[in-house]
Chain A
Amino acid sequence: MSTPGWPRELVAARLHVVTGKGGTGKTTVAAALALALATGGRRTLLVEVEGRQGIGRAFDTAPLPYVERKIAVAPGGGEVRALAVDAEAALLEYFEMFYHLGVAGRTLRRMGAVEFATTLAPGLRDVLLTGKVKECVTRCGKDGRHVYDAVVLDAPPTGRVVKFLDVTRAMADLAKAGPIHTQSEGVVRLVHSAATAVHLVTVLEDLPVTETLDTVTELDAADLRVGAVIVNRRRPRRLPERAGVATRVTTAKLRTGLAAAGVALADDVLDGLVVEANEHGERMQVEATALTKLTDGPVEPLPRLDLPEIADGMDLGELYELAELLVEQGVQVRPVSRSAPR
């Protein structure tokens, strides 16, 4: 089953990269997406890479360590695990694995030597972070099946995301052989495959929409697959419209309507209501223009999911509400077949 907002290709994707301009609610949407994909008995992993601890805050828990752990239960018995990947820890992990560094590793980290090494080659950080993500996506359990039905990556914002995912470019900085090189080749294969989709979160304003469209072009040029555009914080259209334009509210028109309903209000209240209503009308105009730009911009229309502004909920309740709305719009993942439910 697929929908226009979540076509069949996205049902088959296993790595969902979520990006967006700062302030559009990228982390919240990534968390809601992980919950939505876990709905109905799936297991998903939500990963953050920028050391901002946004996921821990979104789920109202303590900061995430460099360990995958269960962070939420999804409707219908699914589970979401979360992981904060950090480049230095990932580099140490490599050193442990391949060079048996032992306790010296921790001392070196305290000295700043590990941080220094990761900043020496700017591409190295990205290679380490995406490498860990790839390991999570492809990891299999004892039964030989993938451990996660889907992995959701709360990625860097639109300005940096293509550079972040385009590991080929980063690899130019690094030695042409060795374990990190081998793993990076795996990352390149994964992010350019049908298993990966990059979703873009935006709000209906000129600037975020422009950045979204620019990023779509950049992703195409880098041969990375664009998934869905997720329009966040949409306001309900309340005012009567003529030809798509909200009616301009005047005190006289409003007074007539209120009189018909038998509602009597003081003049200053009436004036305030008129200003509020017309501000909403202008805002709707801005949203409509931005939506037209978003729909007409790309050569091929992009799958689109809509999420409303939620005024009364906050934190965890809001996340579950958003996840449910995503599921209603068709968001799902093809489950990894497992021999027995665990």
Chain B
Amino acid sequence: MSPTRRPPRLDLDTVLDDPGVRIIVCCGAGGVGKTTTAAALAVRAAERGRRTVVLTIDPARRLAQALGLKMLGNEPRAVVGVGGSNGQRSGELHAMMLDTRRTFDEMVYTHSTPQAAAKVIANPFYQTISSSFAGTQEYMAMEKLGQLASTGDWDLIVVDTPPSRSALDFLDAPRRLSSFLDGRMIRLLAAPARVGSRGLRRIVGAGFGLFARAVSTIIGGALLADASSFVQAFDTMFGGFRERATATYRLLRSPGTAFVVVASPEPDALREAAYFVDRLAGEQMPLAGLIYNRTHPVLAKLPASRALDGVQAAEAAGRAPGAKLAAAVLQLHADRVALADRERRLLGRFTHAHPEVAVAQVPGVAGDVADLDGLREIGRRLGEQRAVPEPVPARG
């Protein structure tokens, strides 16, 4: 193996303590521990003296309970029992769960007259868009972030991102939904002959009329009519929506934002993390680094080969007291060295392609996180994590 390149260390306590950092976005593939990481970072920030709010998306029941969240609430609520001081300021923690539908409703009311808003909200097509349209949750998470930031109430906002098909969805969702709502497509489909520009018709020719007819055959005229009247009613508020999306996008690119990408030691999670890092660079969004989550670092400096020799010796000792236990413990150590090796190889591939990305390695806890102390412990591991360890030499 070539000499392992050591990535720079991601010092999360420095990020949490930096008054210039106002937003931390946790992203990554599904199942890597994003929500828990976001909550643990928020608890730690509050106890280090920052007035913090954490926006969680669909937390597990026990995590929600740990944060004192019993139901969806579209406004932050104080978490009792969390707080601390850095000498000058006293921190506190507030938490909320995203309510996608209500966030969307509020947006409609904000950008329109009461009558027009009521008309939009009553449209059957709106029900579909605001609940099951792919990307709505991502869009509303970003909208909520924008709202929280604009109040100026918070030193630090920690955001969890939805478990999308792809970890990148939340960056694209506002644009995708915007292109859907801007009305051009629906007008083409509903009345292609009247609205389609001459240039466009020249390109696709009779194809478009055919296409529009085919679409309406498939999805039914009623739905198309609902969609069309929805988009018409929506037209007036569209400008406001687009402005907000643009403002949030700017906010994400500002130096006060820090993205952390979370990955577990699995090939898929790391590939997703690599895509994400590239994408953030492409969008010029500020990346703090990678959290390599739930790892199994070797805790005893003993080469696997010597441990395995010891297993044989202990097995040969037969029924001597403790021999069976010694064999098991040494075998476990050999397993652990192999596991840590795999984890390091996987990380090595990532670092090879992205040598500049700082990494925090966070050893996994054995049980589930059930309370604030569990979150504090993960916070401690996030803050005090060691540098990526040296491999144990094969012979020693």
Complex: how many Å from CA A116 to CA B176? 10
Residues in B neighbouring A236, C-beta threshold 8 A? 335
Residues of chain B within 8 A of A95, CB atoms compared: 211, 214
Cβ-defined partner of B220 (8 Å) among A50, A174, A275: A174
Interface residues on B, range: 35 or more
**B205:A258 contact, CB within 8 angstroms:** no
A243 contacts partner chain B, Cβ-Cβ < 8 Å: no
Say yes or no: B368 contacts A206, CB within 8 Å: yes
A73-104 contacts to B, CB under 8 A, are 94-95, 98-99, 101-104
Give chain B nearest CB distance to A276 CB in angstroms. 5
Q: Which residues of A contact B132 (CB under 8 A)?
A: 122
Are B207 and A253 closer than 8 Å at their CB atoms? no
| Interfacial residues of chain A within 261-296, with CB under 8 A of chain B in the complex | 261-263, 265, 268-277, 279-280, 282-283, 285-286
Q: Which residues of B contact A51 (CB under 8 A)?
A: 165-166
A25, A104, A259, A269: the one within 8 Å of B211 (CB): A104
In the complex, the answer to whether B368 meets A122 with C-beta atoms within 8 Å is no
Known: A113-B185, A116-B185, A261-B310. A240 touches B325 (CB 8 A): yes
- Nearest A residue to B300 via CB reads A272
Query: How many A residues are at the interface, by size bracket?
Result: 35 or more
Q: Which residue of A lies closest to B346 (CB)?
A: A314
Whole-angstrom distance between the alpha carbons of A211 and B220 in the complex? 36
B207 with A239: CB separation less than 8 A: no
Q: Find A263's partner among B223, B310, B367 (CB 8 Å cutoff).
A: B310
Within B355-396, which residues are at the interface with A (CB < 8 Å)? 366-368
B79 to chain A, nearest CB (A): 21
Which residues on the A side are within 8 Å of B321 (C-beta)?
256-257, 260
Stretch at the interface among B8-16, B100-108, B337-345: B337-345
Question: Scoring A residues 128 to 142 as 1 if CB is less than 8 Å from chain B, else 0, what string do you get?
Answer: 000000000000000
26 A-B pairs in the complex with CB atoms less than 8 angstroms apart: A23-B32, A51-B166, A52-B165, A57-B267, A57-B268, A95-B211, A107-B204, A113-B208, A113-B211, A117-B211, A117-B218, A121-B219, A178-B218, A238-B328, A240-B325, A249-B329, A256-B321, A256-B322, A258-B322, A260-B321, A262-B317, A269-B301, A273-B300, A275-B300, A276-B332, A283-B366
- Taking A117-B211, A238-B331 as given, write out 13 further A-B residue pairs in contact, using a Cβ cutoff of 8 Å, ordered by the A residue number: A22-B163, A105-B207, A175-B219, A236-B335, A239-B329, A240-B325, A256-B322, A259-B322, A260-B322, A261-B313, A261-B314, A271-B300, A311-B339
Per CB-CB distance, the 8 closest pairs between chain A and chain B, nearest first, are: A23-B31, A104-B207, A22-B30, A257-B322, A272-B300, A257-B326, A22-B31, A260-B320
